[in-house]
């Protein structure tokens, strides 16, 4: 099983009457930007606003880079409900940026990406002689870029996990 994580503009998908008033369902749709970062070995995400990591893969990443509370803190984590949608705020981006800066400072020669496709497996089709690419750095750069883009350009900035 895996998360489907989308960062972008929250859009109303449906609304129906409920006991305590209308119930609304919100979504963030898939989107690509030509300037969004891409990484060797990442054949699924490319320059899009979605990632699809396994449950334990995402939790391990969050623990390793210091973002576990940002995503999973009870009641306030961006992904404390699954499925769920959370409003993105500038302070979320600041936490991700600080985590990326620390990770990069501790690994100054790290190269973002994967030697193998993180979803489908198999050898990276670009054999540029680089081995030991850093998937955590790639995820941090992806989060930082899409959170920044979303906060600058979207009316209702959100992170949706489904």
DSSP one-letter code for 158: E
For residue 91, the model assigns a pLDDT of 98
Q: Which of 104, 110, 134, 128 is nearest to 42 (CA)?
A: 134
- CB-facing half-sphere around the CA of 8: CA atoms within 13 A: 17
Q: What is the pLDDT of residue 129?
A: 46
**pLDDT (0 to 100) of residue 41:** 86
Output the CA angle 76-153-74, nearest 5 degrees.
5
Q: How far, CA to CA in Å, does 134 sit from each of 43, 61, 70, 114? A: 15, 11, 21, 6
Instruction: Please tell me the predicted confidence (pLDDT) of residue 33.
Output: 98
* pLDDT < 50 positions in the chain: 124-129
């Amino acid at each position: 099983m895996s998360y489907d994580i989308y960062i972008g503009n929250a859009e109303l998908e449906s609304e129906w009457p409920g006991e305590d008033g209308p119930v609304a369902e919100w979504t963030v749709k898939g989107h690509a930007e030509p300037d969004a970062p891409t990484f060797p070995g990442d054949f699924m995400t490319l320059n899009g606003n979605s990632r699809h990591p396994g449950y334990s893969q995402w939790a391990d990443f969050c623990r390793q880079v210091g973002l576990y509370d940002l995503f999973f803190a009870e009641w306030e984590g961006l992904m404390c409900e699954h499925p769920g949608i959370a409003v993105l705020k500038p302070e979320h981006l600041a936490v991700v940026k600080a985590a990326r800066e620390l990770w990069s400072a501790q690994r100054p020669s790290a190269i973002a990406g994967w030697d193998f496709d993180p979803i489908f497996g198999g050898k990276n089709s670009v054999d540029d002689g680089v081995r030991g690419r850093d998937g955590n750095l790639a995820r941090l750069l992806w989060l930082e870029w899409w959170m920044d883009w979303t906060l600058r350009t979207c009316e209702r900035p959100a992170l949706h996990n489904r």
